[in-house]
Amino acid sequence: MKRLGKWRLLPLLAVVALLAGCGEPFLSALQPAGEVAQIQYDLMVLSTAIMVGVIVVVAIIFILVMVRFRRKSEDEIPKQVEGSHTLEIIWTVIPILLLVVLAVPTVSATFKLADVSEMDQKAEEGESEALIVNVRANLYWWEFEYPNEEIVTSQDLIVPTGEKVYFNLKASDVKHSFWIPPVGGKMDTNTDNVNKFWLEFDQTKADEAGGIFYGKCAELCGPSHALMDFKVKALPRAEFDQWVADMQNVTEPVQAETATAQAGQEVFNNSCIGCHAVTPANTTPEQARMGPNLTDFGNRTLVAGILENNEENIKNWLKDPEEYKPGNKMTGKYNLSDEEIDAVTQYLMGLKVQE
């Protein structure tokens, strides 16, 4: 009965394994949403098929041997097959063939995914013909610079669909890892060197995900590592170009309209502007910014990458950022009254480049 009880657990384990493979299209690595993700997914399927195939074959042979060649008497000695060249060749050649089947597409994919030569191809103006995004990871937020477009933003990565987007990855403080699960595997962001790779975002898959993918930090970096999220807005090329144009048109900070927002802008200029820019121009190339760029804060889906962007959450974040992201560098850098927080909240909600 005890053995039977153990076997009863197998269906439950199978269901758990099946559910573990399910996920939302904006977050699941098992629902590829681009060329890179598809290549990596195909390799996972191939390697899994090979491993499962080996397990099945070995299990069948094991059961066959146990049933067919059971000792029928104590005096019977099974046929001795040690030193059989045929068997030794078989169980040597088969693993080699399996490794070759796995190695060929793996090596091919490795070289293809590592090819970032297009980043170095220059147009007549001296700029790269490819779309390049410089990603800088910070405790615990992300900055995205578009060098050819001369704009900087943070927390929301905006990309066009249907084409390669090239990334330069770097960290400001400790090692992080840049990962958009549905679109491609992770890559580390280091403080002492720049890693480069490319991704492609599929329009159909982006539509299925609601136009937004979730990005994560995949390297333990501190107490708020699990909260170091960002969002990826995948847009058709025309909409992406419009977003770029709207960002480039912001040459001066947006002026608040209501009296409360104007008071908030004054507080912001006195207490926050030293860390947070509200124009997208990159005034300090190759240097880390102290805090996220807030030019289009009002257009973002989330506050600090984790809270829904609404008035209540903005106020809660400003009152006590440590409660939501332990170890963040914003805690203790300012002292605002509730009235000032209300005013700054109204100002931040008005920072929009698109309606």
pLDDT digits (tens, 9 = 90+) for 116-146: 999 888 776 667 789 999 999 999 999 999 9
Domain 259-349 belongs to what topology? Immunoglobulin-like (2.60.40)
Q: What pTM does this model have?
A: 0.84
The confidence score (pLDDT) of residue 16 equals: 47
The confidence score (pLDDT) of residue 1 equals: 47
In the chain, what are the helix, strand and coil shares in percent, each to the nearest 5?
Answer: 40, 20, 40
The confidence score (pLDDT) of residue 79 equals: 74
7 pLDDT above the threshold of 60: no
Give the model confidence (pLDDT) of 57-88 as tens digits.
999 999 998 888 777 777 777 777 777 788 88
Integer Cα distance of 98 and 94 in angstroms: 6
Give the model confidence (pLDDT) of 236-261 as tens digits.
999 999 999 999 999 998 899 899 99
What is the average per-residue pLDDT within 290-294?
A: 90
Contacts with 294 (C-beta within 8 Å, 6 or more apart), sequence order: 154, 276, 277, 278, 348, 351
Could you tell me the pLDDT band of residue 5, with boundaries at 50, 70 and 90? low
Are the C-beta atoms of 182 and 27 separated by less than 8 Å? yes
Are the C-beta atoms of 248 and 269 separated by less than 8 Å? no
- Domain locations in the chain as residue ranges: 2-67+86-113, 259-349
